[in-house]
Amino acid sequence: MTSILQIFILIPVIGFILSLLIPAKKEGIISRVAFLTVGLHLISFIVFSVFWLFHGHESLNLKEIVLFKSKDYEFLIDFCFDKITVVYLLVGAFLTFLVTIYSRYYLHREEGYKRFFNTILFFYVGYNVAILSGNFETLFIGWEILGISSFLLIAFYRNRYLPVKNAIKVFSVYRIGDIGLILAMWASHHLWHENITFLKLSNYELVHEHILGHSFTGVFISLMILVAAAVKSAQLPFSSWLPRAMEGPTPSSAIFYGSLSVHLGVFLLLRTFPFWEHQISVRILIALLGLTTSIIASLIARVQSSVKSQIAYASIAQIGLIFIEVAAGFESLALFHFAGNAFLRTYQLLVSPSVVSYMIREQFYNFIPRQHTIEDSFPKKVEYSIYVMSLKEWNLDLFMDYIVWKPLKNVGRKLDFLTINKLLLLFIPTYVVGLVLLYNQEKLAPQLHEYLPGLFSLIGFIMVLKSFSERKSPRMSWLLIIMNHFWIALAISFNEHFKVEEAIFYLSGIIIMGALGYFTLSKLKSLEKTLDLNRFYGHVYEHPKFAMMFLLACLGLTGFPITSTFIGEDLIFSHIHEDQIFLAFFISSSFIIGGISVIRVYARIFLGPHIKTYHEVPYKSS
């Protein structure tokens, strides 16, 4: 029975590959492949679930394949099937099936018809990988696929400025959640000294014993899980990204941000509940976060002028309540609440265009006086303050901007004096010195040897910050990301047991994809007079092949599953010691900010209004 689990991954993968091979003009065939893929998946899953229920419904675990193995580390794909999986897969398969049928007619004759269905099937692959995941590594594969497919669907109307800008913003917030998941994976490796599965987390003796011996590590993992869950489910202070994600087509908004993707944070909490259920402080923190989010999101939802934004904040409020239910230990109630909220929000988003049209006509014939609300009982100053703050969405965007993004940009702009030539002149000699120190580390003082990994990772982190703030040269930004990976490999090489073969494995994908991306940018630079990062150029229309090549290079450079870079990043963290918190922070931040920088380069060069077709005033840099 366990071996059948891989079928639920293969069906979406095969459907996605078939959809890529169909010509764009064959709308009927494209849509049929999509809903037949999801329909077959739904039927096979229902049959399997009934069979599973009648045979004792025991939790299943499948160790599918080991992608990389060394003496001290094993990267494996692991699948799990239990009650949580059943609910999430059933809701996901049914709603995706309905949305694919709906989209067949809703997007008829749309310019990106094939692109939409390709991305939806790609999303469905990631969703199934995430829900069936049996360990953190497999979950992160699905997590990353959902992130990039979310970016592509929000920027679906890529000839417009606002969808592309909001896609970058949502992707940037997603990457903050990635930090939480990466650091949780890193700490869990040190806590259990193995690639632990979710099924083992339900072993009370194993979990409780390790938490007692490593109390700080246990709390740290729980907090990182909470950060990742809060970001993915749009809880405070990350709530503002969800309405911005509604820039995509209505069907994708329904399936992503009304039902499935936005509830993945709840899934993460449910999956890891056996680990943190005995940490009372963490449970109280999760409940307080959910309660605060529910109150503030409800207030914001009531004053929204856009129906999709109103639904988005209403969904955020309900997910906050689900967080409380999970923290209280009501797993079945949380699953039931998830299913109900997912179906309701999907329905509301799909019918929202019709409802808006109906309400516009209805208001001319039936006048309904304003009804009294609970806020009317407040003092007027309090009532008006709440109203104004809700209109401003409690300044959540400004909070994230001032706390996270502006400080990073300001630091990077201090390095504006660097050019490509200066950068290479500085990088090559300094890196050679680092290699000399590496191969002579036995002769170095122990104190110096301890600080070198942190120093080199800090240099790589500074390069990422410069890339993040770069506005003049796309090639400069690209080279900085490549150099950052080399500095990371050098920094980890000073820790014992990190072999040369492992460093080469990690850097192989960086070198290949980095060269591909740099070649694409150089070729495009020779064809276009202006190529900077001050605005969106929309070159995808004139150079579609270059756009595809560069997107693949971006995915390889950011460590997209399953590339050698993705496995290499996890391999890097397996060699960071438990007490090297700053090293782990600098490297994880470099990966995350570097990924944002790479996607920003792609979006500004290839997406947005085409510069030769539209002649707007250049947009200010975000």
Task: Measure the CA–CA gap between 477 and 533, rounded to whole angstroms.
Answer: 9
Most confident among 34-43, 433-442, 455-464, 571-580 (mean pLDDT): 34-43
Give the position of tokens 């390889």: 556
- pLDDT score recorded for residue 451: 77
pLDDT at 505 over 90: no
Higher-confidence residue: 409 or 68?
A: 409
Identify whether the C-beta of residue 211 lies closer than 8 Å to the C-beta of residue 279.
yes
Helices (H), 55-197: 83-106, 113-132, 136-154, 161-192
pLDDT at 270 over 90: yes
Burial of residue 29, with CB atoms counted within 10 A of its CB: 0-12 exposed, 13-18 middle, 19 or more buried: middle
pLDDT at 319 over 90: yes
Work out the angle between the directed axes of helices 204-213 and 161-192 (0-180°, nearest 10).
90
**3-class SS at 71?**
coil
Identify whether the C-beta of residue 296 lies closer than 8 Å to the C-beta of residue 394.
yes
| Nearest one of 189, 173, 84 to 136, comparing CA atoms | 189
Q: Over the chain, what is the mean pLDDT?
A: 83
- pLDDT score recorded for residue 616: 44
Task: Measure the CA–CA gap between 217 and 211, rounded to whole angstroms.
Answer: 8
- pLDDT score recorded for residue 571: 80
Lowest mean per-residue pLDDT among 158-167, 499-508, 592-601, 612-621: 612-621
- pLDDT score recorded for residue 320: 94
Task: Measure the CA–CA gap between 188 and 206, rounded to whole angstroms.
Answer: 13
Task: Measure the CA–CA gap between 54 and 505, rounded to whole angstroms.
Answer: 46
Name 305's Cβ contacts closer than 8 Å, sequence gap at least 6. none
Task: Measure the CA–CA gap between 591 and 595, rounded to whole angstroms.
Answer: 6
Burial of residue 65, with CB atoms counted within 10 A of its CB: 0-12 exposed, 13-18 middle, 19 or more buried: exposed
User: pLDDT of 237-267, one tens digit each?
Assistant: 888 888 888 888 888 888 888 788 899 999 9
Burial of residue 305, with CB atoms counted within 10 A of its CB: 0-12 exposed, 13-18 middle, 19 or more buried: exposed
Task: Measure the CA–CA gap between 117 and 123, rounded to whole angstroms.
Answer: 10
Name 422's Cβ contacts closer than 8 Å, sequence gap at least 6. none
Mean pLDDT throughout 225-233? 92
In the chain, the N- to C-terminal Cα span, in Å, equals 51
User: pLDDT of 281-298, one tens digit each?
Assistant: 889 999 999 999 999 999
Structure tokens at 355: 């409802």
Task: Measure the CA–CA gap between 622 and 320, rounded to whole angstroms.
Answer: 30
Question: How does residue 622 score in pLDDT terms, banded at 50, 70 and 90?
Answer: very low
Task: Measure the CA–CA gap between 78 and 477, rounded to whole angstroms.
Answer: 36
- pLDDT score recorded for residue 210: 61
- pLDDT score recorded for residue 620: 42
Give the position of tokens 């806020």: 375
Lowest mean per-residue pLDDT among 40-44, 92-96, 128-132, 608-612: 608-612
**Residue 47: what residue type?**
V
- pLDDT score recorded for residue 358: 59
Task: Measure the CA–CA gap between 236 and 396, rounded to whole angstroms.
Answer: 8
| Nearest one of 123, 138, 119 to 6, comparing CA atoms | 138
- pLDDT score recorded for residue 550: 92
CA 306 remoteness from chain centre: 25
**3-class SS at 65?**
strand
Higher-confidence residue: 415 or 358?
A: 415
Mean pLDDT throughout 105-134? 88
pLDDT at 68 over 80: no
| Strands 74-81 vs 60-69: parallel, antiparallel or unpaired | antiparallel
Lowest mean per-residue pLDDT among 40-44, 222-226, 578-582: 578-582
- pLDDT score recorded for residue 229: 93
| Nearest one of 148, 180, 181 to 167, comparing CA atoms | 148
Structure tokens at 35: 């809903």
pLDDT at 46 over 60: yes
Mean pLDDT throughout 379-393? 81
User: pLDDT of 167-214, one tens digit each?
Assistant: 998 898 888 888 888 888 888 877 777 777 888 777 666 666 666 555
pLDDT at 418 over 80: no
User: pLDDT of 131-180, one tens digit each?
Assistant: 998 888 889 889 989 988 989 989 888 888 888 998 998 898 888 888 88
Higher-confidence residue: 124 or 78?
A: 124
pLDDT at 619 over 70: no
**Residue 497: what residue type?**
H
Rg for the chain (alpha carbons), in Å? 25
Instruction: Name the DSSP class of 539.
Output: T
Most confident among 53-62, 199-208, 482-491 (mean pLDDT): 482-491
Task: Measure the CA–CA gap between 115 and 252, rounded to whole angstroms.
Answer: 12
Question: How does residue 617 score in pLDDT terms, banded at 50, 70 and 90?
Answer: very low
Percentage of residues in the chain having pLDDT higher than 90: 22
Name 240's Cβ contacts closer than 8 Å, sequence gap at least 6. 393, 396, 397, 400
**3-class SS at 110?**
coil
pLDDT at 437 over 50: yes
Task: Measure the CA–CA gap between 8 and 13, rounded to whole angstroms.
Answer: 9
488 preceded by cis ω (within 30°)? no
CA 297 remoteness from chain centre: 22
Task: Measure the CA–CA gap between 503 and 457, rounded to whole angstroms.
Answer: 15
Question: How does residue 38 score in pLDDT terms, banded at 50, 70 and 90?
Answer: very high
Mean pLDDT throughout 204-233? 79
Give the side-chain half-sphere CA count within 13 A for 116.
Answer: 31
| Nearest one of 413, 401, 542 to 468, comparing CA atoms | 413
**3-class SS at 61?**
strand
User: pLDDT of 295-314, one tens digit each?
Assistant: 999 989 888 878 888 888 99
